[in-house]
Amino acid sequence: MVNLFTPQQPQTSGASPESGSGYQAVDTKIPPKARPVFSEISVNGVTIAESAILAEAQNHPADNPGAALRAAAEALVIRELLLQKAAEEQVTGTPETTADGKTETAEDAKIRALIEISVDAPSADEAECRRFYDNNRSRFRSEPIFEASHILLAASPADEAARRQARAEAGQMIAELEAGAVRFSELARARSACPSAEHGGNLGQLSPGGTVPEFEAVLMRLPEGEVTGSPVETRYGFHIIRMDRRIEGAQLPFEAVRPRIAAWLEAASWSKAVQQFIAVLAAEATIEGIEITGADGPLVQ
């Protein structure tokens, strides 16, 4: 981890009146200096300011400050490489509006224009798309759809007594349902704490990602027409779930996903070509203070 403010050895002044043996107290009038985060970093003689690295670090989330600073320094080194190459090639670009509605800076426009004229990524042909589809068929399936109903016995995770009571009540309800003593919809209307109670517990159609993980795990395995044999615990409380209908996912035909596959392959090809272009620039440049170990990650941002 990079220590941003490692103090230098404090200056001292004056002897302790108690010791008389050369003891010197800390001079609090002179604050310690902070050491720089990095040794000076430069690209072909152009220095990357430490203040710029610190500001850039906020754009590079990481597990620790040191990793964020390293990523920020690499990104700024690569940016400087690209700007120097654009100046060398006399490349200028007209700022454009990005997808999020922001207007490019003049420097960003230069970098974009440089990459556009310097990087040529081949498009994906039919054979490549077909090969990718055949090797990744599981990625091209429609998601399953579940039509389910539930009864919720609400209880806060922080209230252990309420949780125990809700679990016991849910278990008793399941026993009543299995014995045929009550209908699911009637029990939901009378006892469920979910707004779906007014519809007999019916949740409508659900797809993966639409519910909490514990609830979804039951949906994935519960057979059509079945009710859970034990209460399902989530942060909301305990649920009794009935699977009303399952619509399993189906394999999507190649023709339906070919445009998506082509876009993926072309984006991957373009990214690799940009990385290679940057790697060449880095190899030809004189970079001091940091070692550029690869051409991925922040190098293409």
Model confidence pLDDT, tens digit, residues 10-35: 444 444 444 455 556 555 565 555 55
Q: What is the pLDDT of residues 48-107, one digit of tens each?
A: 999 999 999 999 998 888 899 999 999 999 999 999 999 999 998 899 988 888 899 999
Say if residue 112 is in the same domain as residue 163. no
Say if residue 183 is in the same domain as residue 102. no
Say if residue 150 is in the same domain as residue 243. yes
pLDDT of amino acid 32: 56
Give the HSE-up count for residue 244: Cα atoms under 13 Å, Cβ half-sphere. 15
Say if residue 74 is in the same domain as residue 59. yes
Least Cα distance to 227 among 238, 218, 236, 214 occurs for 218
263 pLDDT above the threshold of 70:
yes
CA–CA–CA angle 260, 264, 265 (5° rounding): 120
Say if residue 163 is in the same domain as residue 234. yes
Give the Cα separation of 46 and 50 in Å (integer).
Answer: 13
Give the Cα separation of 234 and 241 in Å (integer).
Answer: 12
Say if residue 229 is in the same domain as residue 279. no
Domain that holds residue 56: 37-121+269-300
Dihedral sign (CA 278, 282, 284, 285): positive
pLDDT of amino acid 36: 55
pLDDT of amino acid 301: 44
237 pLDDT above the threshold of 90:
yes
Say if residue 166 is in the same domain as residue 196. yes
One-letter amino acid identity for 248?
Answer: E
Give the Cα separation of 91 and 93 in Å (integer).
Answer: 7
% pLDDT > 70, the chain: 84
- pTM to 2 decimal places: 0.58
Confidence of residue 37 (pLDDT cuts 50, 70, 90): low
Average predicted confidence (pLDDT) for the chain: 87
pLDDT of amino acid 28: 56
What CATH number is associated with residue 188?
3.10.50.40
Q: What is the DSSP letter of 157?
A: T
Confidence of residue 291 (pLDDT cuts 50, 70, 90): confident
Say if residue 234 is in the same domain as residue 187. yes
* Tokens read off for 75: 């990104």
Mean pLDDT of 191-209: 95
Say if residue 104 is in the same domain as residue 176. no
